[in-house]
Amino acid sequence: MKTNIDRRVAVIGLGAMGGAMAATLHKAGWQVTGFDPSDAARDTAEAGGIPAVDSIDALAGTPYVVLSLPSAAIVETTVPALLQAPGTVAIVDTTTSEPEVSAAMASLAAKHGTAFVDAPVSGGRDGAASGTLSAFIGATDDALAAAEPVLVVLTGGKYDHVGGPGSGNVVKLLNNVLAAVNLVAVGEALGVAKAYGIDPATASASISGASGGSKASEHMYPKWVLSGTHDSGFALGLMARDAALAIDIAHNKGEDPQLLGTASDQWQAALSTLGPRADFTEIARTVAPSITRAGMPQVPAHD
3-state helix, strand, coil in the chain (%, to 5): 55, 15, 35
Residues 6+ apart with CB under 8 A from 77: none
Contacts of range 291-296, beta carbons closer than 8 Å, 24 or more positions apart: 291/187, 291/190, 291/191, 291/194, 291/200, 291/225, 291/226, 292/225, 292/226, 292/228, 293/228, 294/228, 294/230
Burial string for 270-286 (b: 16+ CB within 10 Å, else e) reads bbebbeeebbbbbbbbb
Whether 237 and 272 have beta carbons less than 8 Å apart is answered as: no
Question: Residue 115 pairs with which residues in a beta bridge?
Answer: 90
Residue 10 identity (one-letter amino acid): A
Question: How far is C-alpha 111 from the chain's CA centre?
Answer: 28
The span from the CA of 299 to the CA of 292, in Å, is 17
Catalytic site residues?
172
Helix axes 16-27, 39-47, angle to 10 degrees: 20
A 10 A CB-CB count for 244 gives 18
Of 168, 159, 120, give the one whose Cα is nearest residue 140: 168
Whether 170 and 249 have beta carbons less than 8 Å apart is answered as: yes
Question: Residue 52 pairs with which residues in a beta bridge?
Answer: 34
